[in-house]
Structure 1
Amino acid sequence: MATPGAVLPGTAQRQALPRWPIFALFAAFPVWWFLGAVPVLPPVLATIMAFYLLNSKRVIILPGVAPWFLFIIWVAAAVVNVQGAGDLMGFGLRAMDIVLAGVSMLYVANAGSSLPKERIVNYLVIVWIAIVGLGFLALMIPETRLNTVLGSVLPGSVTSNELVRNLVTPALAEVQRPWGAPEPFVRPAAPFPYANSWGAAFAMLVPVIVARMAMMRHRALSVLLGVILALSFIPAVATSNRGMFVGLAIAVAYALFRHLGLGHWRMVAIIFSGVAALAVALVASGAVSGILGRQEYSDSTGGRLALYAKTWEQSLQAPILGHGTPRIDPTIGVSLGSQGFLWTLMFCYGFVGLALFLYFFAGGLLRTWRQSTVPDVWLHASVLGGICLIPFYGLSVLQLAVLTTVLTVLLRQRYVGAHE
């Protein structure tokens, strides 16, 4: 295990791990979605990366990552409380997302020569641009649902699971028609099953985009990315995700605080002007009133609070290993543990599983918060803002992988060296 503060000897002499598995995880994610193959992405890529790691002469385990692997063990133990084949399938899908996040952390930690920070950030920029592009497409043809390759070959017994069905026959948008609304609400979702997942990915990737702009040497490319960033708020606003804006606000406020402390006055001025321009645009365009107007026809806040209370109550009945998977509550007609990753962790894996997850991220953020370049501050803000979303939104394979990979890049930079 690496010694804190030290650069590990011999890292440059190890045979470089290939970069393509991480490219396939992030940059090629929309392709997996288009094929309906997102459910098979975690086991396939985790197996491939594990194969390369096992055939590597030496594997670095960075300080701070051990709690994640304890978390994996705890998740595996929670299978004893799973009831029925359908629930077992849902359990397996969620567990493999967590396993892939762990394996990809090890892979990134050991692939510094082939996967430097800038390359990984580039992959994240690619997937963000694809998410934004699909967001615009969803606004144009919202009723479209893909008949994917995998969805066409799977038997009905498998696609009867709601989570599997939404993954293998995905819709471009959630089109919601609450009673009394004058027109339906079109909420971009692709390449995810739900609009909230789109919002979560958007919120944690926007700081990564700012980090990439700060790393660019060509002003024209930076301006182009900035224009795309400004336009990206059109589909973002259409999702009506209040939690997304909460996560973004926390990330930006944290970055502003850090830049003030570090004396990055140019970045401070950019943040103030950017936030002011966005606020004016949101109010002037009617976006704010549109988001608030949706609440007139859909009491999502009150419904969620009732669901959270019920989830807490039921979690107390299985506080150690949890219930394994979300379970439908007949009194409210919604699955407990399905609305917000914090509640999923608590309900499915118990308070111990939740504590291990939070301990991993808290420890990682504390270990890396002193990194002081402009890009590193924004990468750190990405993880912090993303974690602040878990009371509201679920985290699927891409969101988990983004958070753990960005944090691993920062940990690797501290313990292995900036050249990695």
Structure 2
Amino acid sequence: MSLQEQAGLQAIRHRGPADAPLPAWPMYVLLAGFPVWWSLGAAPFAPLVVALLMATLMVVRRRLDLVPGVMPWFAFLFWAGGTAVNLPTAISVVGFVQRYGNLVAVGIFMLYYINARESLNPRKIINGVLFLWATVVVLGLIATQVPEFRLTTPVGALLPRALTSNPLVYDLVFPPMAEIQQPWGAPEPFERPAAPFPFSNSWGVAFVVMTPVAVASVGIVRSKWMRALVLLLLAASLIPALATGNRGMLIGTALAVVYVLLRMGARGHLLRVAVLGVGAGLAFFALVASGQLEQILGRQEYSDSTGGRLSIYTETLAATLESPLMGYGAPRLDETIGVSLGTQGYVWLLMFSYGFVGLGLFVIFLAGGIARTWRAPGNTGLWLHSVPVAAAGIASFYSFDVMQMAVVALVIAVLLRARYIGEELP
């Protein structure tokens, strides 16, 4: 190990016969295998299963390497776990366990990548996320054609009716292709692509955090045919993206693009900035000329989601001030407004569920990851760095499911490992 690696790595080691390299295939199962889990109806449980497998492999290996920047996540987990004392009912415990289990899984994914240096490199993570992004785009395209189709899955068929009668569980194990909404007064329903997630907003968040990785892959894929395919999918992705009518998705994606353009300009790559700027300008022109921007903004006429969110945020903040340290452990229904507080954005979820301390620890992890990897080298590094930046930009009004948060955390882990052990990005 070089002196730079020794300075960057903090090691907890117990040498033994099982001190062997960690295999790469569990990460492939997580990322490339997600469409299979989704088609089986097991997408809600698969990340936890994979995390358990990864944890077992790390325990058997009997060695754990850490890099600066990951410990705030585990401090956040420690605090969040303690907030379970504020759960009011047994039913709320079930929701807490699933939500907390997903957070633990994300931490395990980071640790596994950091410790699998012999088998997992940045290129493999980028390719894995690229495959997951392509799945999201293709299913989104299919959803625009058959929005009312719903998948019948083996897991859904095996679960008892007592569970599948719950609307959320039903959507998870019998996933719809699109979220169909018709607010009062709307002349026709809004058919918003959602697959492979149960909600259209989840599709939008996935698009925001995965598209920069897809763009980064264009410059590193070895096959010209693969590069052409990625470019084709990038162009085609605008169809389901616009069909979601998701304003936050547009804001997050624009934030990532503008951020990269500004950083490239600061580094003197003016030609690249010009080319990307022209591409972004053409995309915006197509958005306006096609009438899609008017349609997206028109949804606001029938669904005052902005005004509704502001009132929910006000109530959420007021409630959190009554339990500022430990929060409430999980979102709770407010009978006066008929909405569960802590459900309209990741920041508000963390603040309400885990208090200001829990939220603060999460912010330290995310902002610290951004700051520590600010000098991410090359175009690949900039596009990867835009992922946590964009995630921070949309976290106030959209929540992150386990796969979306896993992508953000893995990108941060890639950048941290590259910095602290001197690993080159492709």
- TM-score normalised over the length of structure 1: 0.95
1:181 matched to 2:203: no
Structure 2 partner of 1:49: 54
TM-superposed CA distance for 1:115, in Å, is 1.1
Residue-by-residue CA offset, 1:335-356 (whole Å, 9 max, x unaligned): 1111111110011111111001
Residue pairs, 1:339-358, within 5 angstroms? 339-358=344-363
Partner of 1:66: 71
Q: Which residue of 2 aligns with 1:35?
A: 40
Query: In the alignment, is the contact (CA less than 8 A) between 2:5 and 2:421 conserved in 1?
Result: no
- Aligned-residue offset at 1:153: 2.0
Aligned to 1:380: 385
Question: What is the letter of the counterpart of residue 292 of structure 2?
Answer: A
Change (3 A) 1:356 1:138: same
Alignment of 1:211-360 (within 5 A): 211-360=216-365
Q: Distance in 1 between matches of 2:4 and 2:122?
A: 21
Q: Displacement, 1:134?
A: 0.7
Of 401-410 and 213-222, deviating more is 213-222
Question: Residue 198 and residue 364 in structure 1: after superposition, are their counterparts in 2 closer, same or farther (change >3 A)?
Answer: same
What does 1:131-170 align with in structure 2 at a 5 Å threshold?
131-170=136-175
CA contact (8 A) 2:10 2:65 kept: no
**Greater RCO, CA 8 A, separation 6+:** 1
**Mapped partners of 2:273, 2:222: distance in 1:** 20
For residues 288 and 146 of structure 1, what CA distance do their matches in structure 2 show? 30
CA contact (8 A) 2:9 2:67 kept: no
Q: State which drifts further: 270-279 or 80-89.
A: 80-89
Question: 1:90, 1:163 within 8 Å by CA — same for their partners in 2?
Answer: no
Consecutive unaligned residues in structure 1, runs of 5 or more: none
Alignment check: 8 A CA contact 1:43 1:96 kept: yes
Cα pair 1:42 1:96 within 8 Å, conserved = no
Mark the CA change 1:171 to 1:294 in structure 2 (over 3 Å): closer, same or farther: same
Aligned to 1:394: 399
Distance of 1:389 and 1:112 partners within structure 2: 31
Matched, 1:126 2:131: yes
Instruction: Give the equivalent residue in structure 2 for 1:75.
Output: 80
Give how far 1:176 is off. Answer: 0.5
Choose from 80, 97, 105 the match for 1:100.
Answer: 105
Q: 2:129 aligned with 1:117, yes or no?
A: no
Distance 1:161 1:3, change over 3 A: farther
SS of match in other structure, 2:396: coil
Task: Report the secondary structure of 2:191's partner residue.
Answer: strand
Q: Aligned partners of 2:358 and 2:240: how far apart in 1? A: 34
- Choose 137-146 or 368-377, whichever is displaced more: 137-146
SS in 2 for 1:175: strand
- Offset, 1:82: 1.4
Q: Tell me the TM-score normalised to structure 2 length.
A: 0.93
1:225 CA displacement: 1.1
Specify the SS of the correspondent of 1:310: helix
Q: Residue 4 of structure 1: CA displacement?
A: 8.3
Give aligned-pair identity as a percent. 48
- 8 Å CA contact 2:201, 2:398 repeated in 1: yes
Residues 142-167 of structure 1: per-residue CA shift (max 9 Å, x gap): 11222322222223443455443331
Q: Which moved further from structure 2: 322-331 or 340-349?
A: 322-331
Q: CA deviation at 1:216?
A: 2.8
Deviation readout 1:290-346 (Å, 9 max, x if unpaired): 101111111111111111111111111221111111111112111111111111001
Q: CA deviation at 1:182?
A: 1.5
Shift of the 240–261 alpha-carbon distance from structure 1 to 2, 3 Å rule, reads same
- Report SS of the residue matched to 2:67: coil
Q: 1:277 to 1:5 in 2, by over 3 A?
A: farther
Give the letter aligned to residue 340 of structure 1: G
Change (3 A) 1:34 1:137: same
Q: Deviations over 1:72-114 (max 9, x none)?
A: 1111111111122322221111111100100010000011221
Q: Secondary structure at the match of 1:39?
A: coil
- Number of equivalent positions: 418
Q: Deviations over 1:263-290 (max 9, x none)?
A: 2233212211111110111011111011
> Which residue identity lines up with residue 172 of structure 2 in the other structure?
L
Three-state SS of the structure 1 residue aligned to 2:395 is coil
SS state at 1:388 partner:
helix
Gaps of 5+ in 2: 14-18
Aligned partner of residue 328 in structure 1, secondary structure: strand
| CA separation of 1:283 and 1:149: change in aligned 2, threshold 3 A | same
Task: Work out the CA distance in 2 between the residues paired with 1:355 and 1:298.
Answer: 32
* Residues 108-151 of structure 1: CA deviation (Å, up to 9, x unaligned): 00112211111110010101111011111111111122232222
Q: Secondary structure at the match of 1:59?
A: strand
The one-letter code of the counterpart of 1:357 is F
Contact residue 75 and residue 353 of structure 1 kept, 8 A: yes
Residues 194, 201 of structure 2: 8 Å contact kept: yes
For 1:357-372, what aligned pairs fall within 5 Å after superposition?
357-372=362-377
1:286 partner amino acid: G
Q: What amino acid is the match of 1:245?
A: L
CA–CA separation in structure 1 for the residues paired with 2:281 and 2:362: 35
- Tell whether the 8 Å contact from 1:97 to 1:400 is kept in structure 2 after alignment: no
Asked if the contact 1:262–1:372 (Cα under 8 Å) also holds between the matched residues in 2, the reply is: no
Structure 2 CA distance, aligned partners of 1:87 and 1:154?
20
